[in-house]
Chains A and B, each alone.
Chain A
Amino acid sequence: MAVYEPWNEARAAEIIASQAGLEGAALPILHALQHAFGCVPTEAVPTVAKVLNLTRAEVHGIVTFYHEFRRTPPGRHVLRLCRAEACQAVGADKVAADVRANLGVDWHGTTSDGAVTLEPVFCLGLCAVGPAALLDGAPLGRLDAATVAAALETAP
């Protein structure tokens, strides 16, 4: 389980400044913000824009282009379930349908108790041990609905 920091403007400015010297710093900055806060907080956008000499609209454009950047923090656990062809070939569609039914959420949704956010992902490079997933960054393979449930149950 990831623990995120509460929003803090000074902390955000510090994170942004730590990456600002890199060439093409936008993605490293956004990754660092998301690592700390669990998302790219809307409040951070003006500072990012100022540091990168971009407009707020441009930064908004970057944040929203990439699937991985969130606008709000996720649930306590993030399950990224692979939907791509190699996993489909070994039953990923059924696993996904079962997991969504069991959790009671659709893609990108978070369970009502805030425990799990379900994200689709297109390929994790685990194509010979599918259906595959990342649970809080840890890889899982040869999944079915039961092993997903067990992994969620035992996730720290």
Chain B
Amino acid sequence: MTRVFVSRDIFSVVLGANAVAAAFAPHATVVRTGSRGMVWLEPLVEVETPTGRIAYGPVTLADVPAILAGTAPSLGLTDEIPFMKRQTRVTFARCGVVDPFSLADYEAHGGLAALRKARELGAAATIDLVLKSGLRGRGGAGFPTGIKWKTTADADGDRKYIVCNADEGDSGTFADRMLMEGDPFSLIEGMAIAGFCVGATKGYVYTRSEYPHAIATFDTALAVARRAGVLGNDFDIEQRVGAGAYVCGEETALLESLEGKRGQVRAKPPLPAHKGLFGCPTVVNNVITLATVPAILTGGAEAYQALGIGRSRGTMPVQLAGNVKHGGLFEAGFGVSLGELVIDIGGGTLSGRPVRAVQVGGPLGAYFPPSLFDTPFDYEAFAARDGLVGHGGIVVFDDTVDLARQARFAMEFCAVESCGKCTPCRIGSTRGMETIDKIAAGEKVAANTELLRDLCHTLKFGSLCALGGFIPYPVLSALDHFPEDFLNPQGIAAE
């Protein structure tokens, strides 16, 4: 029977993929994969042909007979769709292609070769390779992964841990989730390599509870890997589930939570690489960071390093979200301009209205107007313009957005999610919300704006972690780039 591929990613499920898959099942061999990342085309159906997979989408139940008969209008070969063709898929090369639960499929697509290679090279040479690739932490902080691994490897300790941060709380990001649902073995292999390199025998994946589908998928993949002996001999992984605290995406709060405590931030030093989980040397890496390591080992550090610009090497899975026509996941070498991503690739807004602002890097990221669309996707270039790349999420807003309201939301979010350990974040966020309300109400606008800027300065430099430290980015960028929104007394309605 013809093989037909239908994604089981939650994006696709929301848009009806399960019913579509069920309709194909009596007539074809249906393989459930991850998503290719073209969310506006989901449910995307791919039919295997001698020349490659032919794509159809978005598919409704009524389209099924025509697709089976070969008379339905297709999108052509999946790999030739412009959105796919423009990408450099390294981390997500297998996502949407393989069955996430089939280890045989994973190996047929190059899986597990990196783990064998690491064992041949030895720990020190493998760490050196990761260092040479220029890979930096994809969770947002952008710290060189090789240095983190080397520090943990060199630290003294009877027990060491690999902790994977899958607490992907930033709005507009879903790369971790898509990878865990579409190619979970690459994360498992990356963690096993990290464990081998630093001498850890146990790994934890801390997944947010808002991802029930990813949690179930990853647990199944862990069981498959354990049965096949990939896990369970010298290294094993356990998944733990968060409980709805955004701050637990901060690495030290995450460690506290894993230890069974309130998810409050720790002061650094000591670094987790020296004293991390239960006081033991610990590597804490994001899902994408760890899942990219196998591809670097098999493809070579030089090849990965050759992609990107400046100090941002390799590829970034960019997530196009919010009011965007072509939403989804687009992996490319660093250096693509923001405007290219939003307009050319994302297709502008879903509503068809002009783009007014984009927020890059989650709730702690800056709002950029189209006048900054020449900014290349690069850690340093964004920092130079008082923004951040973060975890690579871009949320698009049309011209109906009110940036004073967004600034207030940033402060409100910080107030709700603050762990309470440091004063600037715990109290400053609430005072910030009140001050923005006063500005919006037209009360001493100049003085209160000055006060808000001063408060942001305190938050930026006085907070213990990035939650309080970065919340000034959305607030100040709204003030700087969209001052007119703070002059309209009707512009903001406090809920």
> Could you tell me which A residues sit within 8 Å of B by CB distance?
23-28, 30-31, 52, 61-62, 65-69, 80, 84-90, 121-130, 132, 134, 137, 139-142
Instruction: Classify the interface of chain B: helix, strand, loop or mixed.
Output: mixed
A23→B413 CA distance, assembly (Å): 31
Count chain B residues whose beta carbon lies closer than 8 angstroms to a beta carbon of A.
62
Interface-central residue, A84, A121, A128, A141, by most chain B CB under 10 Å: A128
User: Using Cβ atoms and an 8 Å threshold, which residues of chain A touch B262?
Assistant: 61-62, 65
Closest chain A residue, CB of each to CB of B417: A122
A25→B416 CA distance, assembly (Å): 25
A to B CB contacts below 8 Å, 20 in the list: A24-B240, A24-B260, A31-B243, A67-B245, A68-B209, A85-B322, A85-B363, A86-B321, A86-B393, A86-B395, A88-B322, A89-B396, A123-B170, A123-B172, A124-B210, A125-B211, A127-B172, A129-B11, A129-B327, A141-B15
Task: Say which residue of A86, A122, A125 sits within 8 Å of B10 (CB atoms).
Answer: A125
Determine if B171 and A84 form an interchain contact, defined as CB atoms under 8 angstroms apart: yes
Task: Say which residue of A24, A61, A87 sits within 8 Å of B259 (CB atoms).
Answer: A24
Task: Say which residue of B244, B257, B322 sits within 8 Å of A90 (CB atoms).
Answer: B322
Determine if B171 and A127 form an interchain contact, defined as CB atoms under 8 angstroms apart: yes
Interface-central residue, A86, A121, A123, by most chain B CB under 10 Å: A86
Separation in Å of the B168 CB from the closest CB of chain A? Answer: 6
User: Using Cβ atoms and an 8 Å threshold, which residues of chain A touch B351?
Assistant: 90
Q: Among residues 132 to 190 in chain B, which have CB atoms less than 8 Å away from a CB atom of chain A?
A: 168-174, 176-177
A140→B10 CA distance, assembly (Å): 10
User: Using Cβ atoms and an 8 Å threshold, which residues of chain B touch A129?
Assistant: 11, 14-15, 39, 327
Determine if B10 and A139 form an interchain contact, defined as CB atoms under 8 angstroms apart: yes
| B258: Cβ under 8 A from any A Cβ | yes
Separation in Å of the B327 CB from the closest CB of chain A? Answer: 3
Closest chain A residue, CB of each to CB of B351: A90
Closest chain B residue, CB of each to CB of A66: B243
User: Using Cβ atoms and an 8 Å threshold, which residues of chain B touch A86?
Assistant: 171-172, 321-322, 393, 395
Determine if A67 and B243 form an interchain contact, defined as CB atoms under 8 angstroms apart: yes
> Could you tell me which B residues sit within 8 Å of A by CB distance?
10-11, 13-15, 39-40, 168-174, 176-177, 209-214, 240-246, 257-264, 278, 319-324, 327-328, 350-351, 359, 363, 393, 395-398, 401, 406, 409, 413, 416-417, 419
A84→B363 CA distance, assembly (Å): 8
Determine if B243 and A85 form an interchain contact, defined as CB atoms under 8 angstroms apart: no
Closest 6 CB pairs of A and B: A128-B327, A26-B260, A89-B322, A84-B171, A127-B321, A66-B243
Task: Say which residue of B169, B243, B350 sits within 8 Å of A123 (CB atoms).
Answer: B169
Instruction: Classify the interface of chain A: helix, strand, loop or mixed.
Output: loop
Interface-central residue, A65, A85, A87, A137, by most chain B CB under 10 Å: A85
Determine if A89 and B210 form an interchain contact, defined as CB atoms under 8 angstroms apart: no
Task: Say which residue of B242, B322, B401 sits within 8 Å of A130 (CB atoms).
Answer: B322
User: Using Cβ atoms and an 8 Å threshold, which residues of chain A touch B327?
Assistant: 127-129
A61→B359 CA distance, assembly (Å): 34
User: Using Cβ atoms and an 8 Å threshold, which residues of chain B touch A132?
Assistant: 14
Determine if A85 and B406 form an interchain contact, defined as CB atoms under 8 angstroms apart: yes
Determine if A127 and B173 form an interchain contact, defined as CB atoms under 8 angstroms apart: yes
Task: Say which residue of B14, B168, B172, B263 sits within 8 Å of A139 (CB atoms).
Answer: B14
- Asked, given contacts A24-B259, A62-B260, whether A126 binds B11 with beta carbons under 8 Å apart, the answer is yes
Determine if B241 and A23 form an interchain contact, defined as CB atoms under 8 angstroms apart: no
User: Using Cβ atoms and an 8 Å threshold, which residues of chain A touch B240?
Assistant: 24, 27-28
Determine if A139 and B13 form an interchain contact, defined as CB atoms under 8 angstroms apart: yes
A66→B321 CA distance, assembly (Å): 27
Task: Say which residue of B40, B170, B401 sits within 8 Å of A89 (CB atoms).
Answer: B401
User: Using Cβ atoms and an 8 Å threshold, which residues of chain B touch A62?
Assistant: 260-262
- Asked, given contacts A124-B210, A128-B11, whether A85 binds B409 with beta carbons under 8 Å apart, the answer is yes
Determine if B257 and A126 form an interchain contact, defined as CB atoms under 8 angstroms apart: no
A30→B209 CA distance, assembly (Å): 13
User: Using Cβ atoms and an 8 Å threshold, which residues of chain A touch B323?
Assistant: 89-90
Separation in Å of the A148 CB from the closest CB of chain B? Answer: 14
A26→B260 CA distance, assembly (Å): 5
User: Using Cβ atoms and an 8 Å threshold, which residues of chain A touch B11?
Assistant: 126, 128-129, 141
- Asked, given contacts A30-B243, A85-B409, whether A125 binds B177 with beta carbons under 8 Å apart, the answer is yes
User: Using Cβ atoms and an 8 Å threshold, which residues of chain A touch B261?
Assistant: 24, 26, 62
A121→B328 CA distance, assembly (Å): 21
Task: Say which residue of B14, B169, B213, B322 sits within 8 Å of A122 (CB atoms).
Answer: B169
Separation in Å of the A83 CB from the closest CB of chain B? Answer: 8
User: Using Cβ atoms and an 8 Å threshold, which residues of chain B touch A67?
Assistant: 243-245
- Asked, given contacts A84-B171, A122-B417, A134-B210, whether A127 binds B395 with beta carbons under 8 Å apart, the answer is yes
A129→B41 CA distance, assembly (Å): 11
A65→B263 CA distance, assembly (Å): 7
